[in-house]
Structure 1
Amino acid sequence: MIALALGQLRRRPAAFAGLAAALFLALATVTTFGLLFATEATAGPDAREPVDGPGPMVIAGAFGEIAVLVAFFVVVNALGFALRQQHRELALLRTVAATPRQARRLVRAEVVATTLLVAAPGWAAGAAGARRFLAELQERGMAAPGLRVPDTVLPMLVALVALVAVLAVGLAAAAVAARRISRIAPAAALTASSTEHDRTGAPRLLAGAVVLVAGGLLLRLAATRPPGRADQAGQAALLGSLVLLAAVALLGPLAARALAAVSGAPARALAPRAGWLADANLRGYARRLSSAVVPVALLVGLSGTMSIMTSTAGHAPGAAASGVTSATDVWLRQSELALLVCFASVSTVNTLVALTAGRRREFALLRLVGATGAQLLRMLTVEAVLTAVVGVLLGAVVAGAASSAYSAAVTGSAVPVVPPAACGWIVAGATALTVPVILVTGLRAVRGPAAELAGGSGD
């Protein structure tokens, strides 16, 4: 299985690039905060001076908790698209008597091989990040000056724990991502194409409803925290936004189709031909649209939640006295936001590249029935803009709900303080990340002989 997995990685390096990036980021993050946690936990009495703020151990625990949750989300997403691009190969293995268990073992072997390939650079980046982050904490008085990341066996032990943790995340993601391909009948897997079923399965709808309720309960918990516990309210609101984004991923086809129907009307009016075709594509392939907009919603939802929470905290009564707007607190929030944006950006780019590249056969068929390259480019431009709009709207809904809960806790009002400039940059950044990625990948996907591509697998 390991030899077969390595062969897949050699034949399809681009398919596993997103997964490798996600695993690298996860490993570097877990190593960074694991080292910070272990550094303070094993420090001598002379290095345990009183500091301003919660201290490196608490900060590492809080950052690591959010990072692991987001890492799982991103790794599942990246692995799902890596499997989608080798769908036919897995189906062929099934037709030559490979069992579902063997297919799942192959997927697990690919995850293990990819993780081991990024282990060394991930550890190095994590160790450098721990030293840099500790220096920043010491400069701001949040860590004792005598603390040092030890040059002993401890970093290796932390690196080993980080590898085990990331492998656990990757294998859990493999179990989720490989479930469909291992259960489908071999003939059905081989003939499966880009067509979709119109209905979203009842188990998925039920799971989405349960997760949605769980997110609502977390936001209620955040909203009912006393004003003196702004940090607890912030953590609950941020966790609630993550859970709501998971609900968006589960219920995405329904929400995406509804929002696409609303946003598609102006596109049809402004660009009758390209707009009509783009709108039909988005609404006809609701699951594909959902896969594209969920990472954008993740990026906008997390960034918007953090930015609005920080602005709201600055306008809270007695904010200066409680310390929620101190320079160190703002820096911590900005650092957490930067970490989340890194994960969300990796997920967004990987998803959009995989989805657009996977439409090679569809573009070839459109060319065979008379569509020109310029017409396809216009269609893709409209689709990219609509994808960004739907993703931003979904993310804005999540950010609004989470920040409202936080605002209710720290200000007594459910109306948060929205920073227009920061939110404008978030929307611009999400759009700048979405539209060019789709267009550049689309330009590559429409190249080549149309007849050959239309008769092939579309990979």
Structure 2
Amino acid sequence: MIPVALGQLRRRPAAFAGLAVALFLAVATVTLFGSLFAADVTTPASARKAAGGPGVAVIAGSFGEIAVLVAFFVVVNALGFALRQQHRELALLRTVAATPRQTRRLVRGQVLITTVLVAVPGWVVGAAAARRFLAELRRLGPAAPGMRVPGTPVPMLVALAATLAVGLAASAVAARRISRIAPAAALTASSTEHGRTGAPRLLAGGAALVGGCLLLRLAATRPAAETDEAGQAALLAALVLLVAVALTGPLSVRLLVAVLGVPVRALAPGAGWLAHANLCGYARRLSSAVVPVALLVGLSGTMLIMTNTAGRTARASATGVTSATDVWLRQAEVALLACFAAVATVNTLVAVTAERRREFALLRLAGAHRWQLMRMLAVEAALTTAVGVLLGAVVAGAASAAFSRASTGSVVPSVPVAACWYVVAGAAALTVPAVLATGLRAVRGPAAELVSGDRD
């Protein structure tokens, strides 16, 4: 299956761009925090004890844990869209006697090859980031003055192994549907959505929601002296709640679109009506586009509000360098999570919009002009951003309230309004241009050929 996987990568390099970037970030991130852990291990115990604040190994472990979870989420998302763009080829392989096991092996081969291709650049970036990160920790105090990143290749090998594990686990999730349906059904399957969200998915979403609520309670009930643990629990709760949003997305998205669509249809009777009808009719597709936006807003908003709340608490209690270190670490975590979420957002929106070429061609044959379709896409992008921001804001509000309850005794956190507006503006800046740029390319070409399938 490796030659077939290589052939697919050569034929559709753009389809694997998002997956490659996600895997590159995973390799770089695990290399970064693995190098920090190695630096802590190779430093004499007396020097480690002399440093203030949380230990470097503790910092590396907490960062690495969240990074791996988010990386899995993003890689599953990116690989899922890479497979959707290969749906016809994979279905054809099934019709010529390829077994489900062989199909899964093909997907694993694609993940393996892509991971190997991005490994070296990821190692280089991760090692450079580790040196810069450690220098900042030495300045702030948690790292001993003489602590250095060792020259051992172990962190790089661990990063490769961890990324492969994440990628292979993601391939098992993403390839499940195409490998289980009958060959004839796989070949004739279209982009038409199923009418309902399956019971297993709803049950999993409910379980994730319950788990997120339990983590929120755990974060809110931590004593004031354990704000680090409360912050980690709140951030993990935000991630679990976003998983619940992803699993139950079509239901919540359909409700929000129905509410937000009323003023949109009034303000833009033509393009607004068509955009609203598309989003209501394809709630699952919209959910795929909304979830990365919610991930970006939810995680970034949670970290920004927690950072501001922790900073306010530190100024009030004058606890010194440890609090300043906590604030800086949360800022670094915001940047890391924003990178992963931005990759998921752009990759999803580009893939979702690009696969609608035949839909756009049918509308053109029915009399719609290209610029009418672009106006429709602009309205859809605005609604997608609004729904994603609302869902992300709800998650961020719940997580930051739990953290505030633990650190200040009040469920009302300190909200950096300007920074939160920047997050919203960043989400819009990623969403709208990605949709419009991809849509502009998707509406080109002879409509009749696109409808008949003569052109991809």
Q: TM-score band (shorter)?
A: over 0.9
Residue deviations 1:66-110 (CA, integer Å, cap 9, x gap): 100000000000000000000000000000010111000000000
Pick aligned residue for 2:159 from 138, 145, 162: 162
Aligned to 2:98: 98
Residue deviations 1:280-309 (CA, integer Å, cap 9, x gap): 100100100000000000000001111111
Question: 1:129-168, aligned counterparts within 5 Å?
Answer: 129-151=129-151, 154=152, 156-168=153-165
| Contact 2:219–2:230 (8 Å) recurs in 1 | yes
- Residue type of the alignment partner of 1:438: V
Q: Does the C-alpha gap of structure 1 residues 268 and 324 become closer, same or farther in structure 2, counting only changes over 3 Å? A: farther
Q: Does the C-alpha gap of structure 1 residues 358 and 180 become closer, same or farther in structure 2, counting only changes over 3 Å? A: same
Pick aligned residue for 2:221 from 209, 220, 224: 224
Q: Does the C-alpha gap of structure 1 residues 45 and 197 become closer, same or farther in structure 2, counting only changes over 3 Å? A: closer
Aligned to 2:350: 353
Matched, 1:267 2:241: no
| Secondary structure, counterpart of 2:54 in structure 1 | coil
Aligned to 2:331: 334
| Contact 1:205–1:250 (8 Å) recurs in 2 | yes
- Residue type of the alignment partner of 2:415: V
How big is the shift at 1:322? 4.1
Residue deviations 1:327-378 (CA, integer Å, cap 9, x gap): 3222111001000000000000000000000111111111111100110011
Distance, in Å, in 1 between the alignment partners of 2:42 and 2:202 is 47
Poorly superposed stretches of 4+, deviation over 6 Å: none
Distance, in Å, in 1 between the alignment partners of 2:18 and 2:102 is 24
How big is the shift at 1:204? 0.4
Distance, in Å, in 2 between the alignment partners of 1:324 and 1:407 is 20
Matched, 1:448 2:428: no
Residue deviations 1:3-23 (CA, integer Å, cap 9, x gap): 111110000000000000000
How big is the shift at 1:311? 1.9
Distance, in Å, in 2 between the alignment partners of 1:135 and 1:401 is 34
Moved more, 311-320 or 397-406: 311-320
How big is the shift at 1:2? 0.8
- Residue type of the alignment partner of 1:36: L
- Residue type of the alignment partner of 2:147: L
Moved more, 192-201 or 316-325: 316-325
Distance, in Å, in 2 between the alignment partners of 1:402 and 1:129 is 28
Between the two proteins, the alignment pairs up a number of residues equal to: 456
Which structure 1 segments of 5+ residues have no match?
A: none
Distance, in Å, in 1 between the alignment partners of 2:450 and 2:440 is 14
How big is the shift at 1:265? 0.8
Distance, in Å, in 2 between the alignment partners of 1:22 and 1:368 is 38
Moved more, 161-170 or 45-54: 45-54
| Contact 1:4–1:106 (8 Å) recurs in 2 | yes
Matched, 1:424 2:426: no
Matched, 1:86 2:86: yes
How big is the shift at 1:324? 8.9
| Contact 1:313–1:324 (8 Å) recurs in 2 | no
Question: TM-score when scaled to structure 2?
Answer: 0.98
- Residue type of the alignment partner of 1:439: L
Q: Does the C-alpha gap of structure 1 residues 457 and 347 become closer, same or farther in structure 2, counting only changes over 3 Å? A: farther
Residue deviations 1:195-220 (CA, integer Å, cap 9, x gap): 11121000000000001000000000
Aligned to 1:257: 254
Aligned to 2:361: 364
Matched, 1:189 2:201: no
Distance, in Å, in 1 between the alignment partners of 2:362 and 2:229 is 54
Matched, 1:437 2:434: yes
Distance, in Å, in 1 between the alignment partners of 2:317 and 2:136 is 22
Distance, in Å, in 2 between the alignment partners of 1:321 and 1:132 is 27
Matched, 1:210 2:204: no
Distance, in Å, in 2 between the alignment partners of 1:48 and 1:30 is 22
How big is the shift at 1:411? 1.6
Q: Does the C-alpha gap of structure 1 residues 458 and 392 become closer, same or farther in structure 2, counting only changes over 3 Å? A: farther
| Contact 1:312–1:407 (8 Å) recurs in 2 | yes
Aligned to 1:11: 11
- Residue type of the alignment partner of 2:221: T
Question: 1:359-398, aligned counterparts within 5 Å?
Answer: 359-398=356-395
Distance, in Å, in 2 between the alignment partners of 1:318 and 1:380 is 47
- Residue type of the alignment partner of 2:122: G
- Residue type of the alignment partner of 1:335: A
- Residue type of the alignment partner of 1:186: P
| Contact 1:32–1:127 (8 Å) recurs in 2 | yes
Aligned to 1:23: 23
| Contact 2:140–2:321 (8 Å) recurs in 1 | no
How big is the shift at 1:188? 1.2
| Contact 1:228–1:322 (8 Å) recurs in 2 | no
- Residue type of the alignment partner of 2:53: G
| Contact 2:216–2:399 (8 Å) recurs in 1 | yes
Q: Does the C-alpha gap of structure 1 residues 323 and 234 become closer, same or farther in structure 2, counting only changes over 3 Å? A: farther
| Contact 1:260–1:390 (8 Å) recurs in 2 | yes
Distance, in Å, in 1 between the alignment partners of 2:333 and 2:204 is 29
- Residue type of the alignment partner of 1:97: A
| Contact 1:314–1:324 (8 Å) recurs in 2 | no
Question: TM-score when scaled to structure 1?
Answer: 0.97
- Residue type of the alignment partner of 1:452: E
Aligned to 1:175: 172
Distance, in Å, in 2 between the alignment partners of 1:447 and 1:179 is 33
Moved more, 442-451 or 46-55: 46-55
| Secondary structure, counterpart of 1:147 in structure 2 | coil
Q: Percent identity?
A: 76
How big is the shift at 1:323? 5.0
Residue deviations 1:22-77 (CA, integer Å, cap 9, x gap): 00000000001001101111223564351121121111111101100000000000
Distance, in Å, in 1 between the alignment partners of 2:314 and 2:29 is 35
Q: Does the C-alpha gap of structure 1 residues 219 and 457 become closer, same or farther in structure 2, counting only changes over 3 Å? A: farther
- Residue type of the alignment partner of 1:124: V
